[in-house]
């Protein structure tokens, strides 16, 4: 049995696949995360082979890859969205749409003011600035887990204030209402 991180990853590939399937919403995301993780582990230097908990380190690396890919895919427009931008630009500025958009912005403003300062800062850093939770945790001097809790609470509060249902899109319980 190979004791390097790459060897450990290859030897436990199916175990990583099973564990990721429980946490990620699609098999494609699992496959992509594992592929990217393999490539990253292959490029790592020998110093990283001394990880204290190599299995946890590799699994966290795979989850981080999935998170990065998920964020990147959200930034891409679909064919329908591109077509709508090209052909439907003139239709979108009718008075009812403008009024509805202004009402949505007012509701969002009210929702943001209902948050604590830390929740608002975390929400903006995570969703607008797209910072990793580890960076946000370091910025606020709190744990990554606490960042996740504060972000979830902020999203739930905003969803309630704007009259929408908050749905967890990633991790355990993905797709379920909060």
d(CA 49, CA 30): 23
In order, the DSSP letters of the chain are: ---SHHHHHHHTHHHHHHHHHHHSS-HHHHHHHHHHHHHHHHHS-GGGGG-SSHHHHHHHHHHHHHHHHHHHHHTSPPHHHHHHHHHSGGGGGSHHHHHHHHHHHHHHHHHHHTS-HHHHHHHIIIIIS---HHHHHHHHTS-HHHHHHHHHHHHHHHHHHTT---B--SSTTTTSB-
- Give residue 178's pLDDT band: very low, low, confident or very high (50, 70, 90): very low
pLDDT digits (tens, 9 = 90+) for 83-92: 776 666 555 5
pLDDT at site 163:
76
Domain ranges in the chain? 5-74, 93-161
- Give residue 69's pLDDT band: very low, low, confident or very high (50, 70, 90): confident
The residues facing 167 across adjacent strands are: 177
The CATH number of the domain covering residues in 93-161: 1.10.10.10
pLDDT digits (tens, 9 = 90+) for 113-136: 999 999 999 999 988 888 999 999
pTM comes to 0.44
């Amino acid at each position: 049995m190979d004791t390097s991180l790459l060897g450990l990853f290859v030897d436990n590939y199916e175990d990583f696949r099973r564990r990721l399937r429980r946490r990620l919403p699609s098999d494609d995301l699992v496959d992509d995360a594992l592929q990217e993780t393999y490539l990253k582990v292959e490029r790592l230097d020998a110093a990283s082979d001394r990880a204290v908990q190599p299995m946890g380190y590799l699994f966290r690396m795979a989850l981080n890859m999935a998170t990065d890919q998920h964020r990147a895919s959200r930034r891409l427009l679909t064919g329908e969205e591109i077509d709508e931008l090209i052909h439907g630009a003139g239709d979108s500025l009718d008075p009812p749409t403008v009024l509805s958009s202004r009402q949505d912005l007012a509701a969002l403003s009210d929702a943001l003011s209902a948050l604590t300062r830390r929740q608002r800062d975390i929400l903006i850093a995570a969703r607008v600035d797209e910072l990793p939770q580890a960076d946000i945790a370091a910025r606020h001097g709190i744990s990554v887990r606490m960042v996740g809790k504060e972000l979830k609470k902020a999203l739930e509060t905003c969803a309630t204030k704007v009259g929408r249902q908050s749905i967890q899109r990633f991790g355990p319980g993905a797709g379920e209402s909060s």
